[in-house]
Structure 1
Amino acid sequence: MEKGMRRDIGLLALTMTGLGSIIGSGWLFGAWKAAKVAGPGALVAWILGVIVILLIGLTYAELGSMFPQSGGMVRYAHYSHGSFVGFLSGWANWIAIVSVIPVEAEASIQYMSSWPWHWAAWTHGLYHNKTLTPPGLVLAGVLVLIYFFLNYWTVKVFARSNTTITVFKFIIPALTVIGLMAAGFHGQNFTQYGGFTPNGWSSVLTAIATSGVIFAFNGFQSPVNLAGEARNPSRNIPLAVMGSILLAGVIYLLLQIAFIGAVRGNMLTHGWAGLNLNSPFADLALSLGVNWLAIVLFLDAFVSPSGTGITYTATTARMVHGMQQNGYFPSVFGRIHPLYGVPRAAMWLNLVIAYIFMLMFRGWGELSGVISVATLISYVTGPISVIAFRRMGDAVKRPVKVRGMSVIAPIAFIFASLILYWAQWPLTGEVIVVIVIGLPIYFYYMAKGGWQDIGRQIRSGIWLIVYLLWMALISFLGSKQFGGSNVIPYGIDMVVVAISALLFYVWGVRSAFAKPNFRDGDANTAQSE
């Protein structure tokens, strides 16, 4: 067990942590945004999204049982491939996840700006032209501070409050599905107004990456990041990861069906792309006269995003702690409070970063696509690391061995690469640049340590740099359906991505260290627990 960390979180709390992270602002906006991009074909986007995340989640479930440590998502690539790959993967994951904290607060305020009551007319000035106004930003900042203090004293407070909130978050989506279907379900919406895929199948694929699908399921990693504080992690981590993904997948699919069926015909005069709603489910409920549901949704717009914000405040602090243990951050961020057992310095750092993101991106829609792409970049190392550890044999203990992983891992890597491509140029290129920008921090700490073993670290990680540059190039040259310059035509572009992804997968697995790159015996200790 890691020094200072307490194993106080059981299976139910871990599963609720994953489910609570997944069912956040994504469910309030995801169905609308996916339908706006892909029409009724958004249903296929959610199904494919669940399959891909489940495959990726299986790789991290096995890794989480092998290394039951806090901030685990930023450690595995470091252990298998060294500091260079570990830093890039951890940096991408941290950037993606820490920015979720302000996004959840912004989502709550955006819903609040649509309150229909006459006494709440002042709230209409909180959100304008797809961004929060200064008063809206202040209220969002207060919410972020509340998330912070709910995690500041003890992990038990976090676990108990999150479990209670998640039960509520599970009930409200169920009521929304029932309420909308009972009030008015228009089956013709699935075939009229441009058909099932009004913008073509390419829009269905793009919706997976940019319309909140991948963004919504990012929360599956929360149980993994809390592995250092979990009871019986070798059993509970895989169960919590898989359980939260499957439960959330059913909820999101039902929500998408209810949303598409509830839209009134006069709202689709300009097609699905013209469906503009500030508070999607609440606006639909009001249009159908289901006022009680609208009131519940306006209340839940605080509960669901806040539950996710609370969870991510906890897990991102553990990620910073993990990156410090890898040697990427100053030692102060690795300190655990002796009484409360939480990494407080890491929490303060994330609070500052959250406020910076809030000032830079003042609306839910601005950040969800960026977060999804950045997270996908961090996900690609999981399938490679899990197979690399299997090739190491007895050098690494493996409490849980997922069947068929030799097939699951390459498929997960290929699909993650495809979704990264489907996110469309220039978004793919922009996020890749953001990830590469973090490298000066890595080289600073390597220089501070005397450039120890730098050649070996770079050799084990050059595949990832080439992979990122290649994906950016393919995105630029790809078909116009995915924002490219159409040098590579539609259809052939996806074949090129899939084949090249398989080649990079093989390269990545073979680039791993012959023995795990443990630091100070910490991973060995974790495995012996």
Structure 2
Amino acid sequence: MFISLGSIIGSGWLLGALTTAVIAGPASLVSWVLASAMLAVLALAHAELGATYPIAGGTARFPFFAFGPLVGFTAGWMSWLRSVLIAPIEVEATLSYLDRIGWVRDRVHLLHSNGTLTAAGLVIGTFFMLLFTLINVLGVRLLAGINSVTAVVKTAVPLLTVVVLMTLAFHGSNFTAGGGFAPHGAHGVFAALPAGVVFALLGFEQAIQLAGEARDPQRDVSRAVIVAMAIGTALYLLLQIAFIAALDPTALTHSWDNPVGKGNFGPYATLATAIGAGWLATILYVDAVISPAGTGLVYMAGAARLSYAMGRERVLPRPLSQIGRSRVPVVSTLLAFVVGELAFLPFPSWQALVGLVTSAAAIMYAFAPVSLHALRVRDVSRNRPYRLPRGTAMAPAGFVFANLIFYWSGYEADWKLGTAALLGFAVFALTRRGIPAAERSVLRGRSAAWIWPWLGGMVLIGRFGRYGGTRALPAWWDLVIVIVFSLVIHYTAVHLAMPPEAVDEAVEHEEEGESVPPPAAAGR
């Protein structure tokens, strides 16, 4: 539970409230409720899959079980891209906060004016990445222990912030100021989702990525995902309420464009100082290091398990599946470090990456409900310790929700992700070419026939949509098109899933070759 909760509570709580309030005003509360409801369905789908197939790097392997290597690679590649970028994002968030502390800024500049890292910032960022790598290589028990401590701190500080702000500064009039409750209408509510709301709630699946190293995953994985998601949702909603209520009403007279000061990167610390709680601002700056760093630590572990899983499936180079003495995928962990370091260079800031990561997460999450539905049809006899309520209806709904989030992320992020998918297939082709023909697995092209129509169709809808596109699609009809298109793709994919005997063979092969110790051995 702490692994998932530690992933959910990161830089999103420190930065998300300001961004979403600027976009949606007080209606940002609706954005949080909407996002949590949509992601709850996706979290419950992951909970059933994680409890039923408790293996490392699960989000890359569930689609593999249902649809074969091509679909498994697509899901794994999207999952890995998203996870491997989180660690550098969280490090940049930490450095951005540190750079706004007066005594730090007076001694060393960590960021340029455009948000890119200075030489000093790159050195300190690299130190954080090396620290994440070392902890991950030393083993999952050390990782879990450190994360449990940081997760407690990361939960306590936001709760303290909520209590202090609501006690010392609660202006109820703010909820109708600056143009009313919803100054930008429904469009603002939807636009706020990829701007920080969905990003903040991401991470519940991290317990599933490490399920192969859990003591009793069939019992615990579903509980971990559900409890972590519930706590994270409640916490973020309270934080948004406290943020809006604590703002100076005079700053909201005309609009929500600049509620706490132009260029401010520490909204809660600014509010705490303004209401005379400077001690809270100090705690928040300390937590600005702990929260993002703890999240980056866990995501590096998740990224390593994903590339490990794809290495085992022979869709990425086999060395990525090598296990060290502490039963950790060492080569995959080192790859996560290298790619994370490279990510510091082309992306200028925290905000610049949020849309892309949210878009990648939406695609990653979309594979869970469609795989769940297909596996329920093709793998009927499997014991399922947890079952998604009304799964035959909730699974297609979850697929629709993921596609809506992808659409709301905007065309700019969507086409870049489509390009990244093409790059991934080039890597896949090169990897497959290096495998002797006799050892290559069957691609199951028929079962993967829905992938490119789905991804291409979603990018095309985004091109003509209202979120970064040409806006040729009329308001509301664009959402109808996304919903109908998603349902067609979902049921087509379920129909094209591999036959039961192929599913059994894929699952048995992975269970027999799983590199992590079984529950009995793990308990010794």
For normalisation by structure 1, the TM-score amounts to 0.92
CA contact (8 A) 1:326 1:519 kept: no
User: Within 2, Cα distance between the matches of 1:95 and 1:112?
Assistant: 27
Q: How does 1:372-383 map to 2 (within 5 A)?
A: 372-383=358-369
CA contact (8 A) 1:114 1:123 kept: no
CA contact (8 A) 1:321 1:346 kept: yes
Q: How does 1:228-243 map to 2 (within 5 A)?
A: 228-243=212-227
Aligned residue identity for 2:10: G
CA contact (8 A) 1:389 1:396 kept: no
For the residue of structure 2 that corresponds to 1:128, the secondary structure is coil
Match of 1:425 among 411, 415, 423: 411
1:470 CA displacement: 0.6
Q: How does 1:425-444 map to 2 (within 5 A)?
A: 425-444=411-430
For the residue of structure 1 that corresponds to 2:205, the secondary structure is helix
User: Within 2, Cα distance between the matches of 1:393 and 1:352?
Assistant: 38
Match of 1:162 among 116, 126, 147: 147
Q: Does 1:415 align with 2:390?
A: no
User: Within 1, Cα distance between the matches of 2:507 and 2:112?
Assistant: 48
Q: Which residue of 1 aligns with 2:159?
A: 174
Q: CA RMSD in A?
A: 2.0
For normalisation by structure 2, the TM-score amounts to 0.93
Do the aligned partners of residues 374 and 451 (structure 1) sit closer, same or farther apart at CA in structure 2, a change above 3 Å counting? farther
Aligned residue identity for 2:348: R
Q: Does 1:278 align with 2:253?
A: no
Match of 1:93 among 79, 91, 98: 79
Match of 2:292 among 270, 283, 305: 305
Fraction of identical pairs, as percent: 35
User: Within 1, Cα distance between the matches of 2:187 and 2:223?
Assistant: 34
Q: Does 1:268 align with 2:252?
A: yes
Do the aligned partners of residues 478 and 82 (structure 1) sit closer, same or farther apart at CA in structure 2, a change above 3 Å counting? same
Mean CA deviation greater in 449-458 or 198-207: 449-458
Q: Does 1:254 align with 2:254?
A: no
Aligned residue identity for 1:294: A
Q: Which residue of 2 aligns with 1:193?
A: 178
Q: How does 1:450-469 map to 2 (within 5 A)?
A: 450=437, 457-469=444-456
Mean CA deviation greater in 439-448 or 17-26: 439-448
Match of 2:229 among 235, 238, 245: 245
Residue deviations 1:180-209, cap 9 Å, x none? 122212211110101111122111112112
User: Within 2, Cα distance between the matches of 1:169 and 1:126?
Assistant: 25
User: Within 1, Cα distance between the matches of 2:109 and 2:323?
Assistant: 43
Q: Does 1:72 align with 2:58?
A: yes
For the residue of structure 1 that corresponds to 2:92, the secondary structure is helix
Structure 1, gaps ≥5 residues long = 1-14
User: Within 2, Cα distance between the matches of 1:454 and 1:329?
Assistant: 13
1:394 CA displacement: 4.1
User: Within 2, Cα distance between the matches of 1:264 and 1:405?
Assistant: 46
Match of 1:348 among 322, 328, 334: 334
CA contact (8 A) 1:361 1:367 kept: yes
1:455 CA displacement: 7.8
User: Within 1, Cα distance between the matches of 2:274 and 2:482?
Assistant: 44
1:78 CA displacement: 0.9
Residue deviations 1:56-96, cap 9 Å, x none? 01111111112111111111111110111111111011000
Match of 2:487 among 481, 494, 502: 502
For the residue of structure 2 that corresponds to 1:316, the secondary structure is helix
Do the aligned partners of residues 130 and 195 (structure 1) sit closer, same or farther apart at CA in structure 2, a change above 3 Å counting? farther
User: Within 2, Cα distance between the matches of 1:451 and 1:39?
Assistant: 60
User: Within 2, Cα distance between the matches of 1:488 and 1:337?
Assistant: 52
Q: Which residue of 1 aligns with 2:314?
A: 327
CA contact (8 A) 1:106 1:362 kept: no
Do the aligned partners of residues 460 and 453 (structure 1) sit closer, same or farther apart at CA in structure 2, a change above 3 Å counting? farther
1:427 CA displacement: 2.2
